[in-house]
Amino acid sequence: MTDIAVVAITTGGAETARRVVAALPGARLHGLAGRVADCDLSFTDTVSHVRTLFSQGTAVIGVCAAGILIRAVAPLLADKAAEPPVVAVSPDGTSAVPLLGGHHGANRLATAVAAALGGRAALTTGGDVSLGIALDEPPEGWRVANPTAAKPVAAALLAGQPVRLEVECGDAGWLALPGLGAEGTQAIRVTDHAVEGDGELILHPPVLALGVGCERGTDPAELSDLVRASLAEAGLSRHSVACVVSLDLKADEPAVQALARELDVPARFFTAAELEAQASRLTQPSEVVFAETGCHGVAEGAALAAAGALGKLVSVKTKSARATCAVTRSAGNIDPATVGRPRGRLAIVGIGPGDAIWRTPEASRAIAEATDLVGYGLYLDLLGEATAGKIRHDGAMGAEEARVRQALDLAAEGRSVALVCSGDAGIYALATLAFELMDREDRPAWNRLDISVAPGISALQAAAARAGAPINHDFCTISLSNLLTPWEAIERRVRAAAEGDFVIAFYNPVSRRRRDQLPAAKEILLKHRPADTPVIIARNLGRPGETISVLRLADLDAEAVDMLSLVLVGNSESRAVRRGERLWVYTPRGYAKKWEDQ
């Protein structure tokens, strides 16, 4: 379960909620505005917000009174099989109560929350309380073919009646219950076969490894059809497939990833050497495949590698025009996390200038889902508790290329990596460097990564918002650092922006050794706009010690600026106006002429 909203409505409850978020992968903190700070998402109406989350199918953990959650979702209750879990957690963390969806994740969430907080999960569903398990919510990886059959079986066990248990495959140790044996009117059948389950509760254990191979650009429908036909011919259930496995060269193959999504299982990958180690077990080794990939078989080799030394082929390699598949049965249950490695993920994340309230939900999600965080140490520190449980890779200022290479290499190992940047990752940050390295070096391991860029609020936007509306007309950004760009090119751009009368945001205006560029830019601007043009110096935006200063262009002094500053210079029409207690800066868009014409 990856879409979990932890809702806090009080300051005291927020601390408990943060501990819950840290303990649950994919969870995000939703806080009541004015009471809960540093949250992933703010809201103003608790009942309305919870109702919206519930209607969207989001699991809700409310750190509040149970009655608040009940009143919120009561009008929406209709189909218990389709409704998301709802759990109430006491603000002190001593109790976690599943209110809805006990057998659809709520009991599991409540148990996990109680374990993290040192509290108690107050489970009320009969099977969980009396039997210690829920037959219609089996362990991770197991599937229930006919959930409605769980109720009469559980009722029989609760009544002390014998229930027949047939285990055809897999490790069913979690079903070690009094009353289960060789006889009984009601029955549980553990099988990887596609069966109807007439009078039986059918449980499918995660024992099948589905090995696949395909040509580059294969239609996902072709691979899906081949797999369905192969499983049907072997009489196997898709619900016992634990993972889709293949050669690592196929990690970014759309058809393979689409198949894993269709089956709702992980996709895992092996190196050619790992698959070649299975060569003696293949039924159809191929010299052609070996010449192309370095192993004598992809589909069978991957399936056998995933199933382990005691695994057996239950569906030998079958082919379509452009794809192959094979299926193995493991001697025990397959844990996909121990099989091969996943496709590596790299999220290049902009976290905004500093304050968590400026962090986008997409950025927060990328950080929450990451196993590894790479970034300048200060930027990782700004994440606060969001780094809990993550492997930090702190970098030094000036070592940008090393950080990007490290992030790409870690992701190539199959890890989920977040490369953390301040502001927006695509504005004077590391997104461009990542793509430039990939472009120049064309490394296969990097090219196969699942890469995303999460935008952030830029220092430009934050400074403008703090000051008023100075960039409400045409504007540009210019970095005054000549470490990577010759000063002649920077000077040419400053002159063009001045002549074009753009509002200009100067990034990297000065450093300890670089003090001449800002005064030079000022002299250029004074030739094209008035001396009293408003200038905003924004320092430490969104961080402790934030300052916003407004002065005249003629009074701009490099000694008042440092590397933590952004300098925003208005155009010839920008105005600084004091109204009430505040001095505001804005740039007109031409409405005055419209008013005059009226």
Confidence of residue 535 (pLDDT cuts 50, 70, 90): very high
> pLDDT digit string (tens) for 326-353?
999 999 999 999 999 999 999 999 999 8
The CATH number that applies at residue 15 is: 3.40.50.11220
Query: How do residues 9-58 score in pLDDT, each as one tens digit?
Result: 998 899 999 999 988 888 889 999 989 987 888 999 999 999 999 988 89
Of 305, 338, 371, which marks where a domain is finished? 338
Q: Which residues touch 303 (CB under 8 Å, ≥6 apart)?
A: 209, 210, 211, 245, 311, 313, 326, 327, 328
Q: Which pLDDT value is given to residue 343?
A: 97
Dmax (CA) of the chain: 96
Res. 1: pLDDT tops 60: no
pLDDT > 80? residue 439:
yes
Query: Using alpha carbons only, how large is the chain's radius of gyration in Å?
Result: 30
Q: What's this model's pTM, rounded to 2 decimal places?
A: 0.81
Name the residue among 289, 211, 217 with its Cα closest to residue 255. Answer: 217
pLDDT at position 131 is: 65
In this predicted model, which residue has the larger pLDDT, 136 or 475? Answer: 475
Query: Do 295 and 251 share a domain, yes or no?
Result: yes
Q: How far apart are CA 334 and CA 529, in angstroms?
A: 70
pLDDT score of 133: 74
Q: In the predicted model, what is the mean pLDDT of the chain?
A: 92
151: containing domain? 143-204
Could you identify the residue written with the tokens 């699991």? 59
CA pair distance 303, 244, nearest whole angstrom:
8
Q: Is residue 250 in a domain?
A: yes
Taking only the tens place, the pLDDT of each residue in 150-179 is 888 888 888 889 999 999 999 999 898 888
Q: Does 478 lie in the same domain as 576?
A: yes
- Does residue 135 lie in a domain region? no
**Per-residue pLDDT tens for 178-217?**
888 888 889 999 999 999 877 899 999 999 999 999 999 9
Residue 138 belongs to a domain: no
Q: Which uninterrupted H or E stretch holds 304? A: helix 299-307
CATH of the domain at 356: 3.40.1010.10
Q: Is the pLDDT of residue 126 over 80?
A: no
Q: What are phi and psi of 254, to 5 degrees?
A: -55, -40
Residue 486 has pLDDT above 60, yes or no: yes
pLDDT of residue 128: 58
| Residues 311 and 219 occupy one common structural domain | yes
Residues 256 and 285 in one domain: yes
Q: Is the pLDDT of residue 450 over 90?
A: yes
Query: For position 217, which CATH number holds?
Result: 3.30.420.180
Any domain includes 333: yes
Q: What was the pLDDT predicted at 83?
A: 86
Q: What is the DSSP letter of 2?
A: -
Confidence check: pLDDT of 129 > 60: no
Q: Is residue 130 part of a domain?
A: no
Is residue 591 a part of any domain in this protein? no
The per-residue pLDDT for 512 is 84
Whether 467 and 439 map to the same domain: the answer is no
Do 9 and 114 belong together in one domain?
yes
Sorted by sequence, the CB contacts under 8 Å of residue 184 that are 6+ apart come out as 156, 161, 162, 163, 164
Length of the chain: 598
Q: In this structure, are residues 478 and 504 in contact, taking their beta carbons and an 8 Å threshold?
A: yes
Same domain, 395 and 489: no
Within a domain: 594: no
Same domain, 259 and 308: yes
**Percent of the chain, pLDDT > 90?**
75
363 and 334 housed in the same domain: no
Which of 280, 312, 338 terminates a domain? The answer is: 338
What is the C-alpha to C-alpha distance for residues 137 and 201, in angstroms, rounded to an integer? Answer: 12
Long-range residue pairs from 145-149, CB within 8 A, at least 24 positions apart, any chain? 145/195, 145/197, 145/202, 145/203, 145/204, 145/237, 145/239, 146/197, 146/201, 146/202, 147/81, 149/197, 149/200, 149/201, 149/202
CB contact at 8 A, 312 and 328: yes
Per-residue pLDDT, 148: 87
Residues 212 and 329 in one domain: yes
Residues 302, 331, single domain; the answer is yes
- Give the residue ranges of DSSP H helices in 383-533: 400-412, 431-441, 444-447, 459-467, 487-499, 517-526
Tally of domains within the chain: 5
Instruction: Give the span between the Cα atoms of 503 and 321, in whole angstroms.
Output: 59
**Who wins on pLDDT, 270 or 133?**
270
Asked if residue 592 belongs to a domain, the reply is: no
Q: Quick one: 120 and 156 in the same domain?
A: no
